[in-house]
């Protein structure tokens, strides 16, 4: 049992290693997958040297399916769980299956109703891109990712000021009904909903991944009890392209609770921290009582997934800036694909967030 405040708990689920995509398909080309097992190995190696954090396993008493169902449609959950066994595949030796035909609104005649009968196991009903394949270990890894996130949430709800969940696969691109961007279940949204269900009056989700968290935004866009704020590559040039513009500020009672901060090309640490500071001021004005951090590191200068130019010391500053809100924090790993520096970047962020640095 961890004593509150003695160390920072870091939750990791060993079943992440069963998710081993070799490729992702972009513009019809099979490219080496970004989300590799080596990402976690890099982080764990770095944290072994950190005497102020402690690795813990996911709790076994959390009703994961109920928590998922508070955010995701039942059909999406069933699909992720069963796709590998039930989606037809031409060759049994395939280690990953992808969508190729999508349920696009433009397919339908005006006024026609959706024809969903018999299509539940058709990949393109639930996937929105070709990047995101499913393999034999994907469901177990995605489920373990949610378990890690909710264990971190439980630890913070129980009195820890900060807990980090090493979620792999990541989650912030998944909406209530479709998945993509290398994500399968939205760990941040599930966690934010769990926190509101367990007594939090207002949760702020701060997304510092290089890519806009279209899924988290969509899930909470018309709500005021969950604030969503994201710093990300400008969608005019960065995935997911269709969401994340500054004028997307929420709707209905959620108007003003959605904050998008697109970054200029090749943003450095000074630019990033300046824009983060402005976003944090807006969040502070909305008075959340707890913070969920969608913690991406693909803003690093060598990362293959973005064009930002952050250096390793910048992540300690980012962690410190977010901690200046003075709220309990549940941090959940999202992207970050330059493995030689990923461990050091995570360790630096953790130092800043725990206020044990400069």
| pLDDT tens for each residue of the chain, 358 residues long | 455 657 999 999 999 999 999 999 888 888 899 999 999 999 999 999 888 999 999 999 999 999 999 999 999 999 999 999 888 766 555 688 899 888 888 877 666 555 554 555 688 999 999 999 999 999 999 999 999 999 999 999 999 999 999 999 999 999 999 999 999 999 999 999 999 999 999 999 999 999 999 999 999 999 999 999 999 999 999 999 999 999 999 999 999 999 999 999 999 999 999 999 999 999 999 999 999 999 999 999 999 999 999 999 999 999 999 999 999 999 999 999 999 999 999 999 999 999 875 5
**What tokens appear for 25 in the block?**
């398909």
Catalytic annotation, pick one of 19, 173, 211, 212: 173
| Sequence-ordered strand ranges (E) for 284-324 | 290-295
**What tokens appear for 275 in the block?**
């824009």
Give me the phi and psi of 167, to 5 degrees please: -75, 120
**What tokens appear for 293 in the block?**
């951090």
C-alpha span between 58 and 12 (Å, rounded): 7
| Tally: H helices and E strands in the chain | 9, 10
Whether 202 contacts 287, CB under 8 Å: yes
C-alpha span between 180 and 184 (Å, rounded): 7
| 173 labelled catalytic | yes
Residue with tokens 């500020």: 249
* Distance set, CA 211 to CA 3, 202, 262 (Å): 35, 24, 10
C-alpha span between 130 and 254 (Å, rounded): 31
C-alpha span between 56 and 41 (Å, rounded): 16
The DSSP line for 334-349 is -----HHHHHHHHHHH
Neighbouring C-alpha atoms within 13 Å toward the C-beta of 317: 15
Whether 166 contacts 15, CB under 8 Å: no
Task: Please report the pLDDT score of residue 140 as a whole number.
Answer: 97
Candidates 229, 230, 149; CA nearest to 195 is 149
**What tokens appear for 104 in the block?**
């696009």
Whether 130 contacts 99, CB under 8 Å: yes
Q: Does the predicted model carry a pTM greater than 0.85?
A: yes
Whether 181 contacts 132, CB under 8 Å: yes
Task: Please report the pLDDT score of residue 51 as a whole number.
Answer: 86
Whole-angstrom Cα Rg for the chain: 19
């Amino acid at each position: 049992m961890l004593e509150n405040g003695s160390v920072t708990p870091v939750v990791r689920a060993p079943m992440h290693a069963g998710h081993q995509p070799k490729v992702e398909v972009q513009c019809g080309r099979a490219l080496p997958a970004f989300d590799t097992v080596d990402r976690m190995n890099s982080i764990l190696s770095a944290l072994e040297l950190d005497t102020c954090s402690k690795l813990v396993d996911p709790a076994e008493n959390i009703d994961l399916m109920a928590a998922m169902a508070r955010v995701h449609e039942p059909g999406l959950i069933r699909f992720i769980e069963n796709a590998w066994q039930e989606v037809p595949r031409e060759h049994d030796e395939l280690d990953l299956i992808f969508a190729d035909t999508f349920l696009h609104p433009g397919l339908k005649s005006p006024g026609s109703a959706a024809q969903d009968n018999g299509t539940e196991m058709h990949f393109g009903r639930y996937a929105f891109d070709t990047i995101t394949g499913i393999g034999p270990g994907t469901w177990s890894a995605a489920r373990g990712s949610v378990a890690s996130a909710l264990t971190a949430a439980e630890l913070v709800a129980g009195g820890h000021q900060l807990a980090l969940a090493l979620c792999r696969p990541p989650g912030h691109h998944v909406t209530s009904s479709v998945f993509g961007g290398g994500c399968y279940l939205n760990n941040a949204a599930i966690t934010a909903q769990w926190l509101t269900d367990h007594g939090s009056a207002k949760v702020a989700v701060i997304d510092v991944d290089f890519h806009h968290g279209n899924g988290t935004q969509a899930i909470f866009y018309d709500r005021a009890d969950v604030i969503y704020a994201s710093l990300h590559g400008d969608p005019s040039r960065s995935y997911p392209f269709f969401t994340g513009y500054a004028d997307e500020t929420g709707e209905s009672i959620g108007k003003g609770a959605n904050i998008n901060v697109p970054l200029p090309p090749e943003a450095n640490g000074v630019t990033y921290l300046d824009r983060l500071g402005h976003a944090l001021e807006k969040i502070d004005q909305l008075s959340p009582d707890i913070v969920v951090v969608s913690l991406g590191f693909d803003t690093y200068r060598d990362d293959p997934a973005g064009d930002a130019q952050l250096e390793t010391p910048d992540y300690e500053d980012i962690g410190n800036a977010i901690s200046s809100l003075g709220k309990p924090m549940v941090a959940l790993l999202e992207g970050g694909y330059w493995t030689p520096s990923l461990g050091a970047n995570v360790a630096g962020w953790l130092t800043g967030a725990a206020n044990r640095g400069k």
